[in-house]
Amino acid sequence: MHSGAHFDPQLGLDIHTYPWPLPTPHIGIVFDVFDYLPLLGTTVHVNSIKRASAGTGGIAVHIPVGGVWVPPLRAPGGPQMEDELFMGSKTVAVDGEPFSRIGMPVLSCNILGMVPPFRLKRLSKPKPLSLTLPLTFNLAIPNNVIVGGPPTINLMALLMRAGLSGLGKGLKKVKKTPQWRLFMRRFKKLRQKLFRNMDPGVLKCRVLRAEPVDIRDGSVSLEHEDFLLPGRLPLAWTRSYSSADLDEEGLCGYGWSTPADTRLEILADEGVAVLTQPEGMTLFAALPQSDGREQGIVGLPDGSRLWRETRNGECFWHVEQEGSARLQFRGKCGRLAIYRLADRNGNGWQFDWQGRDLERIREFSTCGMSGREILVTWQNSRLRALRLRNALDDEITPLTRYEYDSDNQLSAEIDALSHPRRFYYQQRHMTSHVDRNGQGFHYQFNDEWRVVHAWGDGGVWDYHFAWHDLLNEVEITDSNGHVTSVSFDDNGLPVSEIDPTGGNTVFHYDDFGRTVELIEPDGSTRRWEYDEQGRMIAEHLPDGSQIQAAYNEDGDLLTLIDEKGACWRSDYDERGNLLAGTDPTGVTSRYQYDEYGQLSAADVPGSGQSRYRYDRFGFLQALSQAGAGTTQLRHSARGTLLERIDAGGGSSRFHWDSKDRLVAMVNPQGGEIRVAYDREDSPLHFTDEAGQITRFRYNRTGMLAACETPDGATLGYQYDLEDRLLAVINQNGQRWQLDRDALGRIAAETDYWGQVTRYGWDKGNRLISREDPLGRLVRYGYDRGGRLSERRSGDTLQAKYHYDPCGRMVLCENPWRRLAWRYDDAGRVLLEEQDGFQLHYGYNERGLLVSRRSDSGHQVRYAMDEYDRLSQIQLNDDAPIVLGYDEAGRRVSEQLSAEVTRHFTYDRLGQLTSQQVLQNDLPLFASGFSWDRLGNLTRRDDSLWGSDRYAYDPVGRLTAHTAPDGTLRQFVQDAAGSHLQTQTRAVNESAGGWFREGQQRGVRYVFDRAGELRQRRDVRHNGEKEDFSWDDNRQLVAVRKGERLVRYGYDGLGRRVFKQTAEETRWFYWQGDALAGETVTITREPLAAQSIFDTGSR
Please state, for a pLDDT cut of 70, what percent of the chain lies above it.
80
Domain count, the chain: 5
Q: Are residues 941 and 1009 in the same domain?
A: no
**Does residue 62 sit in helix, strand or coil?**
strand
Q: Are residues 154 and 175 in the same domain?
A: no
Instruction: Confirm whether 789 is domain-assigned.
Output: no
> Which letter does DSSP use for residue 3 in this model?
B
Query: What is the enclosing helix (H) or strand (E) of 958?
Result: strand 958-962
Q: Are residues 349 and 446 in the same domain?
A: yes
Give the pTM: 0.79
pLDDT tens-digit series, residues 567-580: 999 999 999 999 99
**Whether residue 760 has pLDDT greater than 80:** yes
Q: Are residues 471 and 544 in the same domain?
A: no
Q: What is the mean pLDDT of residues 725-730?
A: 95
pLDDT tens-digit series, residues 639-697: 999 999 998 889 999 999 999 999 999 999 999 999 999 999 999 999 999 999 999 99
Q: What is the mean pLDDT of residues 578-589?
A: 95
pLDDT bracket for residue 300 (50, 70, 90): confident
Lowest average pLDDT, out of 48-62, 406-420, 844-858, goes to: 48-62
**Does residue 652 sit in helix, strand or coil?**
strand
Cβ-proximal residues to 509 (8 Å cutoff; 6+ apart), any chain: 489, 491, 493, 495, 515, 516
Instruction: Confirm whether 942 is domain-assigned.
Output: yes
Q: Give residue 91's pLDDT.
A: 47
pLDDT tens-digit series, residues 381-399: 999 999 999 988 899 999 9
440-445 and 429-434: which strand pairing?
A: antiparallel
CA distance 217 to 462: 19
Q: What angle do CA 426, 432, 437 make, to 5 degrees?
A: 150
Instruction: Confirm whether 576 is domain-assigned.
Output: yes
| More confident call, 211 vs 333 | 333
Query: What is the enclosing helix (H) or strand (E) of 249?
Result: strand 249-250
Please state, for a pLDDT cut of 90, what percent of the chain lies above it.
66
pLDDT bracket for residue 38 (50, 70, 90): very low
Q: Quick check: 109 and 79 in contact, CB under 8 A?
A: yes
**Whether residue 811 has pLDDT greater than 80:** yes
pLDDT tens-digit series, residues 905-920: 999 898 999 999 999 9
**Whether residue 119 has pLDDT greater than 90:** no
CA distance 1036 to 798: 16
**Does residue 1040 sit in helix, strand or coil?**
strand
Q: Which residues pair with 674 in a beta bridge?
A: 664, 687
Arithmetic mean of pLDDT over the chain: 84
Last residue of a domain, one of 904, 936, 968: 968
Number of helices and strands (H, E) in the chain? 2, 96
Q: Are residues 154 and 73 in the same domain?
A: yes
Last residue of a domain, one of 968, 1003, 1027: 968
Q: Give residue 391's pLDDT.
A: 87
CA distance 173 to 532: 11
pLDDT tens-digit series, residues 782-801: 999 999 999 999 889 999 99
Q: Are residues 187 and 45 in the same domain?
A: no
CA distance 358 to 385: 11
Instruction: Confirm whether 1019 is domain-assigned.
Output: yes
Q: Are residues 504 and 536 in the same domain?
A: no
**Whether residue 200 has pLDDT greater than 90:** no
pLDDT tens-digit series, residues 430-489: 999 999 999 999 999 999 999 999 999 999 999 999 999 999 999 999 999 999 999 999
Q: Quick check: 909 and 648 in contact, CB under 8 A?
A: no
Instruction: Confirm whether 1070 is domain-assigned.
Output: yes
Beta strand ranges found along 704-836 (DSSP E): 704-708, 714-719, 725-729, 735-740, 746-750, 756-761, 767-771, 777-782, 788-793, 796-803, 809-814, 817-823, 829-834
Cβ-proximal residues to 1028 (8 Å cutoff; 6+ apart), any chain: 1012, 1013, 1014, 1015, 1016, 1036, 1038, 1039
Q: Are residues 241 and 377 in the same domain?
A: yes
Q: Give residue 75's pLDDT.
A: 42
CA distance 346 to 573: 14
Q: Return the exposure string of 674-709: e unless at least 16 CB atoms fall within 10 Å of the residue's CB, then b.
A: bbbbebeebbeebbbbeebebbbbbbbbbbbbebbb
Q: Are residues 1074 and 964 in the same domain?
A: no
CA distance 567 to 570: 10
CA distance 718 to 696: 14
Query: What is the enclosing helix (H) or strand (E) of 1067?
Result: strand 1064-1071
Instruction: Confirm whether 1010 is domain-assigned.
Output: yes
Last residue of a domain, one of 116, 132, 158: 158
Residue 515's identity, in one-letter code, is T
pLDDT bracket for residue 121 (50, 70, 90): very low
**Whether residue 51 has pLDDT greater than 80:** no
CA distance 1033 to 1013: 14
Instruction: Confirm whether 421 is domain-assigned.
Output: yes
Q: Quick check: 618 and 365 in contact, CB under 8 A?
A: yes
The domain that holds 921 is classified in CATH as 2.40.128
Q: Are residues 149 and 194 in the same domain?
A: no
Q: How many CB atoms lie within 10 A of CB 882?
A: 16
Q: Are residues 547 and 494 in the same domain?
A: no
Which bin fits 501, alpha (ψ -120 to 50), beta or left (φ > 0)?
Answer: alpha
| More confident call, 1088 vs 739 | 739
Q: What are the CA-CA distances from residue 751 to residues 735, 766, 1009 (Å)?
A: 7, 23, 10
Q: What are the CA-CA distances from residue 617 to residues 140, 639, 873 (Å)?
A: 41, 8, 45
Instruction: Confirm whether 26 is domain-assigned.
Output: yes
Residue 444's identity, in one-letter code, is Q
Q: Return the exposure string of 17-47: e unless at least 16 CB atoms fall within 10 Å of the residue's CB, then b.
A: bbbbbbbbbbbbbbbbbbbbbbbbbbbbbbb
837-843 and 829-834: which strand pairing?
A: antiparallel
Q: Give residue 174's pLDDT.
A: 41
Burial of 967 (0-12, 13-18, 19+ CB in 10 A): exposed
Q: Are residues 219 and 246 in the same domain?
A: yes
pLDDT tens-digit series, residues 509-524: 988 888 899 999 999 9
**Whether residue 1098 has pLDDT greater than 60:** no
Where in the sequence is the domain holding 956, given as residue range(s)?
896-968
pLDDT tens-digit series, residues 600-618: 999 999 888 899 999 999 9
Q: Return the exposure string of 337-351: e unless at least 16 CB atoms fall within 10 Å of the residue's CB, then b.
A: bbbbbbbbbbbbbbb
